[in-house]
Amino acid sequence: MGTTTGKVLMSYDIDKSHTQVKTDLEVLGYLERFKHNNDPKIYTLPNTTLWHPTKSSNQAMIDLKMVCTKLKVTLEKVITVKATEFVGI
């Protein structure tokens, strides 16, 4: 379950320290922006949604839990999914 690596999308709710959690996840390679193939526009995901190009959904969950534990942040909700395609506005 959740062990195939590739593009993974993660959306979460936490109780505090939103900026620091996102910063720590970005250090691990998570991104808040994406581009469509030939579209010059850069799309930004919602505030507590990130993606990674080469993780599994299990690893994304582990990474988020690790960051939250380190920062003493309560992880209220999270979903991580394998995502092969992004479309946005």
**Count of domains forming the chain:** 1
| 88 belongs to a structural domain | no
- CA 47 – CA 31 distance, rounded (Å): 11
Cβ neighbours of 24 (radius 10 Å): 19
Map tokens 């469509």 to a residue. 36
Q: Is residue 1 part of a domain?
A: no
**CA 60/CA 58 separation, integer angstroms:** 5
Please tell me the predicted confidence (pLDDT) of residue 30.
98
- 37-89 pLDDT, tens digit per residue, is 788 889 899 999 999 999 999 999 999 999 999 999 999 999 999 988 777 77
- Domain membership of residue 41 as a residue range: 6-82
CB 84 within 8 A of CB 7: yes
Q: Exposed/middle/buried for 80, CB within 10 Å: 0-12, 13-18, 19+? A: buried
Does residue 1 surpass a pLDDT of 80? no
- CATH code, 38: 3.30.70.2360
